[in-house]
Structure 1
Amino acid sequence: MIEVRRAIDHDCAALARLHARSLPGSMLSRLRDAGLERYYRFAIASPVERVWVAVDPEVIGGCVLSEEPGSVLGRFARYAPLALASELGTAILRDHSFRRRMVKRLREHGDEPHAPEVTQIFTDASRRGEGIGASLLRTCEASLRDAGVRNYFVHTERDDNEAGIRFYRREGFVTIGESQSFGQSFLVMQKDLV
């Protein structure tokens, strides 16, 4: 039976591996398992992020909800500055396109909504279609409602992501704009909770 619960430090290695397999093109996946594990330790300890896992009995899904999504990378860099710098430096040396995207990201000044955002959500590919992602979102929404929040956001890749966009629309999200991050185009989607 699938259980959704708050993530604990013990989950970080499994979250990192699943994140890397599920979201291979994400900036965080460039950090590889050790860097991703540090990221999830940071997010679990953070007072403005909430991390949930879906387990059955192993980790089969993960979700990060941030109250301050625009500052996550900066706060993570302060949390693990040498490790992050080393891992990003290695990624930049290995991949020239990543270097260009990173430089572009550092120059961007977005008009992003300042509200809670699901910054990561992913499930094991072999378990997709079982409602795991929807269960993770419902857990986020219950937490947000308890805090009196009226809406929240997701950014999802605009190109080659029909399944992800359909998922969010099915869950009640509407597209309110577009954004650029690390040289990629994203749809900004919002869901009202009232």
Structure 2
Amino acid sequence: MLTITTTTTTTWTRTMCTRTMTTLLPDRAGLRRTRLRVDAASGGRARVLATTSGDSARPCLRAVIQDSRPGYARVALVPDGALLLADDAIGLDIKVGTAVRLDLVEPGGTVAYNMRGGEASWDVTIELGAGSRLTWAGEPFVLSAGARVRRSTEVTLGAGARLAVRETVVLGRHQERIGALDQRWTARGPDGAE
């Protein structure tokens, strides 16, 4: 059985005034990739392996283990630095083993700031083993004026795997225009069908 639950909430406001602010930001080009693997360990807590790769001067998402017991783990995704600025490239690979449950939480939302003509990316791949479950209660993703972001999520579900994701996209902060967002979701079942 293939079960995919996606909730998207969109909020926007009318622009009543426009303010201009100039901020000089350092060059932040480069991809940081976080890899999170959760498997069933024999006779003990779920085994959680989290690694990051790429230039350590660039921002990434840190995986912080909050709970681990047989067949279950709870992990917080904590930003390591300000996100998202021009040229940020965030990558997140999640792999959940057979018959394991993973709850992902975010302690706060993410703001995509004015990119001053640049752009940022946020790419997620999720692989769920047979009978596994992933619940990801994402916090709001705010698209500020001048932001240009490409977000992609690719999911592969094993037989009987379940996925529940909450994504909230806020189009602009209070009284400001919205930026540009290209968001794509792809989910494949055990037979490879989308």
Same fold per superposition (TM over 0.5): no
Q: Between Structure 1 and Structure 2, which shows a larger proportion of helix residues?
A: 1
Q: Which has the larger radius of gyration?
A: 2
Q: Between Structure 1 and Structure 2, which shows a larger proportion of strand residues?
A: 2
